[in-house]
């Protein structure tokens, strides 16, 4: 292949030479004249080029075991988030778990309480699916004011991976789910034993007990060696470092489904068990913090996703919402996964505003911030999915709109 | 006949094991792993404590982060916020927001003190749970919290939660 490419390159330079009215063989390029220095040798585990700098910004925290880092979505392409850049949200640090000793206990309202080793789980029928994971608190800052300066800060608590594992349904069938079993409680092996309740219908639908992410073992920050993947549901229920699942008849009312991850409304009541992530999109290029070098062609790019299914349409406006155009959607469009959208655009060098709006397969259209605050008030903290406006100044700089 | 019916109804529930992968869990390992405490009181261990008894352990193990009166310090408050949920500055605490008292035991037992979870025994945990409830004016200083009394505590915001009734936005634009 490289040889072929070189040949066609030479061929082209031959034509160029002919065009210059010379019968001489083409002159050698600088690169070809130099003796090639040998590169690095083969290696056991790849690293990215040292020229690449995309990273999760690490905030300066008094207790860095409880906190989050965000995916720099504007530096990612396509729909897969590199595992190394998947967002983090930990409540008690990342435990160091030996996969030879880690087990999953499945008990409660089942006929046969079972213990699975990682090796056991890998023997069972496996499935791989591409799903986004989004923290319910993603874009939470936008409730008070749409102030997120760039994509990472305002939208970076969302990432998308290929997850591989055992469908939870298979484990429940092995254990013999009892009819009274209506909910489950899942618990992690982190220091705080983070735990969440989930309805059994979801467990029997599409949950995965995952051991791999993007083709290799799940990263420690993402739950190594075992994570519950709950497609389309808020990130917190995708329990990392999974160590037990108990089948129960009622939700357990854990701290993270009462004190946290409940959505306060204007009248002082709070919605509970708001699992589903509503449709959302964000333009990743041009986006806050970037600078356009001058008028001319730009490809508007972004990501859209919905916990309800696939992304049907993304409308993009390059004039602050006056006119809209349909963006091209990258195929295949997968349910509960990122969908990449693209739209060619000629920037005329004038000040303007870019906005995207996603529509999913249920017909749900991503709301504006005004529609959201009208429906819920200002105190919800979680589940913000309003459209994001990026302002382009005449000098090409892009800011939060 | 009765036996046959029982057999049939059991058979309807029991799906047979298909892969025979994984091993049976022993009741000992279930007991030591299962630390869930439900609003019904299921899972709460034997033991007891009062707010008065909880002061000592609270001031040594909790006050640094949550404040001597639970008002918050290095970390968030455990008390206060009454009447704020409808305001522009809602303060969600155990007292103003949490629907179930059993959650306090479940959470403190599994996760607190933050840098040393699991440090407190059952009596100490019941005592600090009682103290947090007392700081919020929900129980008296000498009211004993145990596996029977804790689930009966009626939290002020018990009826403050509703089911997910979305979609509340997202109607078709065109």
Tell me, yes or no, if A252 comes closer than 8 A to chain B by beta carbon. yes
Tell me, yes or no, if A211 comes closer than 8 A to chain B by beta carbon. no
User: Nearest residue of A to residue B9 by CA position?
Assistant: A179
B contact test, residue of A113, A281, A387 with most B CBs within 10 A:
A113
Which residues constitute the domain of residue B113? 48-159
Measured in angstroms, the CA of A204 and the nearest CA of chain B are apart by 14
The answer to whether the Cβ–Cβ distance between A114 and B173 falls below 8 Å is: no
Q: Give the residue-averaged pLDDT of A222-236.
A: 98
Identify whether B104 is part of a domain: yes
**Is the separation of the CB atoms in A360 and A106 below 8 Å?**
no
The answer to whether the Cβ–Cβ distance between B38 and A255 falls below 8 Å is: no
Q: Are strands B161-163 and A270-272 parallel, antiparallel or unpaired?
A: parallel
Which residue in A243, A357, A364 is closest to B167 by CB distance? A364
Tell me the residues of chain A between 308 and 367 that have a Cβ less than 8 Å away from chain B: 357, 363-367
Identify whether B18 is part of a domain: no
The tokens for A339 are: 């969908």
Q: Give the residue-averaged pLDDT of A83-110.
A: 98
What is the helix (H) or strand (E) element at residue A256, kind and residue range?
Answer: none
The answer to whether the Cβ–Cβ distance between B30 and A372 falls below 8 Å is: no
Tell me, yes or no, if A372 comes closer than 8 A to chain B by beta carbon. yes
Which residue in B40, B107, B171 is closest to A255 by CB distance? B107
Which residue in B15, B90, B170 is closest to A264 by CB distance? B90
Measured in angstroms, the CA of B58 and the nearest CA of chain A are apart by 19
**Tokens 């408050």, residue located:** B77
Q: In the prediction, which pLDDT does A255 show?
A: 98
What torsion, rounded to 10 degrees, do the Cα atoms A301, A307, A311, A315 define?
-60
Tell me, yes or no, if A115 comes closer than 8 A to chain B by beta carbon. yes
CATH code for position B74: 1.10.760.10
CA distance B65 to B117: 14
Binning pLDDT at 50, 70 and 90, where does residue A28 land? low
Identify whether B95 is part of a domain: yes
Give tens-digit pLDDT for A162-188: 999 999 999 999 999 999 999 999 999
Q: In the prediction, which pLDDT does A337 show?
A: 98
**Is the separation of the CB atoms in A376 and A265 below 8 Å?**
yes
Which of A17-26, A37-46, A369-378, B139-148 comes out lowest in average pLDDT?
A: A17-26
Q: Give the residue-averaged pLDDT of B20-38.
A: 97
CB contacts < 8 A, A to B, total 172
Identify whether B41 is part of a domain: no
Which chain A residues are closer than 8 Å to B94 by Cβ? 259
Mean pLDDT of all residues in chain A? 93
Q: What percent of chain B has pLDDT over 70?
A: 90
CA distance B89 to B73: 18
**Is the separation of the CB atoms in A106 and A175 below 8 Å?**
yes
**Tokens 């190394």, residue located:** A84
Which chain B residues are closer than 8 Å to A195 by Cβ? 36, 110
Tell me, yes or no, if A269 comes closer than 8 A to chain B by beta carbon. yes
CA distance A311 to A335: 7
Give tens-digit pLDDT for B48-104: 999 999 999 999 999 999 999 999 999 999 999 999 999 999 999 999 999 999 999
Identify whether B80 is part of a domain: yes
Measured in angstroms, the CA of A268 and the nearest CA of chain B are apart by 4
Side-by-side strand order, sheet with A398-400: A325-326, A311-317, A352-360, A389-392, A398-400
Mean pLDDT of all residues in chain B? 92
The ipTM assigned to this model is 0.92
Q: In the prediction, which pLDDT does A216 show?
A: 98
Q: Give the residue-averaged pLDDT of B128-140.
A: 98
What torsion, rounded to 10 degrees, do the Cα atoms A200, A203, A205, A211 define?
180
Identify whether B173 is part of a domain: no
Which residue in A177, A259, A275 is closest to B92 by CB distance? A259
Measured in angstroms, the CA of A347 and the nearest CA of chain B are apart by 27
Give tens-digit pLDDT for A306-364: 999 999 999 999 999 999 999 999 999 999 999 999 999 999 999 999 999 999 999 99
Measured in angstroms, the CA of A339 and the nearest CA of chain B are apart by 19
Identify whether B166 is part of a domain: no
Is the per-residue pLDDT at A99 higher than 60?
A: yes
By residue count, chain B amounts to: 174
Identify whether B23 is part of a domain: no
Binning pLDDT at 50, 70 and 90, where does residue A26 land? low
Q: Give the residue-averaged pLDDT of B133-142.
A: 98
Which of A50-54, A62-66, B2-6 comes out lowest in average pLDDT?
A: B2-6
Q: In the prediction, which pLDDT does A36 show?
A: 83
Q: In the prediction, which pLDDT does B15 show?
A: 64
Is the per-residue pLDDT at A19 higher than 90?
A: no
CA A366, distance to chain mean position in Å, is 18
Q: In the prediction, which pLDDT does A12 show?
A: 37
3 state DSSP class of B116: coil
The answer to whether the Cβ–Cβ distance between B167 and A275 falls below 8 Å is: no
Measured in angstroms, the CA of A135 and the nearest CA of chain B are apart by 17
Q: Give the residue-averaged pLDDT of B126-153.
A: 98
**A241: left (phi > 0), else alpha (psi -120 to 50), else beta?**
left
Domain count, chain B: 1
CA distance B147 to A194: 22
Q: In the prediction, which pLDDT does A35 show?
A: 74
**Is the separation of the CB atoms in A387 and A355 below 8 Å?**
yes
Q: Give the residue-averaged pLDDT of B136-149.
A: 98
Binning pLDDT at 50, 70 and 90, where does residue A31 land? low
Tell me the residues of chain A between 150 and 169 that have a Cβ less than 8 Å away from chain B: none
The tokens for A68 are: 């989050």
The answer to whether the Cβ–Cβ distance between A270 and B161 falls below 8 Å is: yes
Closest residue by Cα to residue A319 from A371, A358, A355, A344: A355
CA distance B139 to B132: 9
| Residue A75 DSSP symbol | G
CB proximity list for A350: less than 8 A, separation 6 or greater: A394
Is the per-residue pLDDT at A55 higher than 60?
A: yes
Binning pLDDT at 50, 70 and 90, where does residue A241 land? very high
Is the per-residue pLDDT at A225 higher than 90?
A: yes
Q: In the prediction, which pLDDT does A158 show?
A: 98
Is the per-residue pLDDT at A118 higher than 70?
A: yes
Q: In the prediction, which pLDDT does A29 show?
A: 66
Binning pLDDT at 50, 70 and 90, where does residue A25 land? low
The tokens for B43 are: 């899972």
CA distance B174 to B159: 39
CA distance B94 to B101: 8
Which chain B residues are closer than 8 Å to A269 by Cβ? 160-162
Domains of chain A: 7-15+277-400 (2.60.40.650), 88-138+147-271 (3.90.420.10)
Is the per-residue pLDDT at A223 higher than 60?
A: yes
Angle of CA points A189, A192, A194, to nearest 5° = 70
Give tens-digit pLDDT for A380-399: 999 999 999 999 999 999 99
Measured in angstroms, the CA of A250 and the nearest CA of chain B are apart by 8
Measured in angstroms, the CA of B121 and the nearest CA of chain A are apart by 16
């Amino acid at each position: 292949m490289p040889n072929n490419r070189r040949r066609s390159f030479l061929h082209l330079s031959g034509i160029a030479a002919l065009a210059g009215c010379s019968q001489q063989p083409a002159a050698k390029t600088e690169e070809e004249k130099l003796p090639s220095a040998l590169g690095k040798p083969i290696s056991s585990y790849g690293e990215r080029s040292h020229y690449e700098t995309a990273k999760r910004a690490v905030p300066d925290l008094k207790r860095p075991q409880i906190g989050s880092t965000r995916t720099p979505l504007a530096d990612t392409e396509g729909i897969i988030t590199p595992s190394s850049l998947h967002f983090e949200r930990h409540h008690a640090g990342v435990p160091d778990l030996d996969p030879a000793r880690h087990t999953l206990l499945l008990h409660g309202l089942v006929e046969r309480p079972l213990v699975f080793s990682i090796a056991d789980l890998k023997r069972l029928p496996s499935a791989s699916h591409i799903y986004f994971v989004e923290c319910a608190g993603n874009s939470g800052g936008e409730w008070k004011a749409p102030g997120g300066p760039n994509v990472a800060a305002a939208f970076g608590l969302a990432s998308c991976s290929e997850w591989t594992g055992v469908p939870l349904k298979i484990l429940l069938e092995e254990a013999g789910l009892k009819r009274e079993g209506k909910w489950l409680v899942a618990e992690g092996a982190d220091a705080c034993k983070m735990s969440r309740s989930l309805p059994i219908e979801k467990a029997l639908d599409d949950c995965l007990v995952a051991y791999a992410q993007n083709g290799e073992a799940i990263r420690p920050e993402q739950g190594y060696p075992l994570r519950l993947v709950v497609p389309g549901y808020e990130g917190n229920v995708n329990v990392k470092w999974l160590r037990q699942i108990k089948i129960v008849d009622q939700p357990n009312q854990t701290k993270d489904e009462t004190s946290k991850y409940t959505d306060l409304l204007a009248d002082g009541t709070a919605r509970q068990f708001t699992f589903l992530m509503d449709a959302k999109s964000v333009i990743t290029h041009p986006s806050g913090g970037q600078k356009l070098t001058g008028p001319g062609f730009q490809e508007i790019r972004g990501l859209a996703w919905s916990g309800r299914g696939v992304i049907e349409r993304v409308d993009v406006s390059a004039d602050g919402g006056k006119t809209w155009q349909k963006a091209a959607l990258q195929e295949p469009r997968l349910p509960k996964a990122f969908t990449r959208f693209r739209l060619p655009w000629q920037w005329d060098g004038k000040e303007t505003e870019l906005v995207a709006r996603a529509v999913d397969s249920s017909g749900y259209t991503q709301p504006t911030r005004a529609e959201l605050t009208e429906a819920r008030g200002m105190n919800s903290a979680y589940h913000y999915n309003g459209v994001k406006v990026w302002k382009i100044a005449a000098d090409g700089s892009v800011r939060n709109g | 006949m009765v036996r046959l019916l029982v057999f049939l109804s059991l058979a309807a529930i029991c799906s047979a094991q298909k892969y025979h992968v994984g091993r049976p869990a022993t009741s000992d390992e279930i007991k030591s792993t299962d630390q869930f405490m439900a609003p019904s009181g299921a899972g709460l261990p034997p033991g007891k404590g009062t707010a008065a008894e909880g002061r000592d352990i609270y001031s040594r193990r909790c006050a640094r982060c949550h404040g001597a009166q639970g008002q918050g310090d290095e970390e968030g408050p455990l008390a206060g916020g009454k009447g704020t949920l409808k305001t522009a500055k809602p303060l969600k605490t155990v007292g103003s927001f949490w629907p179930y008292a059993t959650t306090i035991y479940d959470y403190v037992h599994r996760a607190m003190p933050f840098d040393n979870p699991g440090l407190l025994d059952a009596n100490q945990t019941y005592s600090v749970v009682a103290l947090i409830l007392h700081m919020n004016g929900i129980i008296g200083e000498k009211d004993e919290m145990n596996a029977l009394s804790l689930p009966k505590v009626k939290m002020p915001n018990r009826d403050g939660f509703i089911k997910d009734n979305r979609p509340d936005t997202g109607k078709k634009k065109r």
